[in-house]
A and B are shown apart, each in its own frame.
Chain A
Amino acid sequence: NAGVTQTPKFQVLKTGQSMTLQCAQDMNHNSMYWYRQDPGMGLRLIYYSASEGTTDKGEVPNGYNVSRLNKREFSLRLESAAPSQTSVYFCASSEIIGRRTDTQYFGPGTRLTVL
């Protein structure tokens, strides 16, 4: 039972390059989330998927797209990377009971640097 996994662990991009961050969970959770973490800023929600087939914007969605590929997988795409997107990206998943969220479990993170 691996929990939430993310690939890659580290990535360096040049401005304008694109890439996709991958996330998978094996806990059969309905909901999945993408956060970015910057020094002194806490965790800020980029996008989330309440259930398979749905996605919604969070606090900082500009410059990102997401795909909920199936119940297990939720990917984050940077179409044209900018230095402001240098950050640590965390994926998380949780069970939802009715409209009540439960514990969010985090992946190990991807450290992205955009030059």
Chain B
Amino acid sequence: GENVEQHPSTLSVQEGDSAVIKCTYSDSASNYFPWYKQELGKRPQLIIDIRSNVGEKKDQRIAVTLNKTAKHFSLHITETQPEDSAVYFCAASMNSGYALNFGKGTSLLVTP
């Protein structure tokens, strides 16, 4: 299938710092880019998403940017808190329009 590359695989920041996770995709037909947060032993839950007709979207401390030309999108978390510690997954819609390709995840640790 089409690939979604996600970096870094692990990220450790101090409380209050910013965290940035980056993803690239290969399918030029992708038009929907969600980000999911998964806490240990729990299900993935959507935290923010962006569509291809928008370059940036913000929700409180979380923002996502999309560069369609370069085929990459990023998650930005500002003023990180210990409860932000989790695994974060990016995804891109497949050209079928229905399903998602997921990145391999970034394990974020926020230390007090």
Contacts and interface: CB of A to CB of B under 8 A. Distances in A.
B99 A101 contact: yes
Q: Tell which of A42, A45, A103, A104 has the most Cβ of chain B within 10 Å.
A: A42
Interface residues of B, number: 25
B104 A101 contact: no
Given A42-B89, A106-B44, A107-B43, A100 B1 contact: no
B45 A106 contact: yes
B73 interface: no
A96 B96 CA distance: 11
Given A40-B104, A42-B89, A108-B43, A103 B99 contact: no
A105 B51 CA distance: 18
A15 B6 CA distance: 34
Given A43-B44, A48-B99, A58 B1 contact: yes
Given A40-B104, A43-B44, A106-B44, A100 B99 contact: no
9 contacts: A40-B104, A44-B102, A56-B99, A58-B1, A96-B97, A101-B97, A101-B100, A103-B46, A106-B45
| 8 interchain residue pairs of minimum CB distance | A99-B97, A42-B104, A106-B43, A43-B102, A42-B102, A59-B1, A50-B98, A48-B99
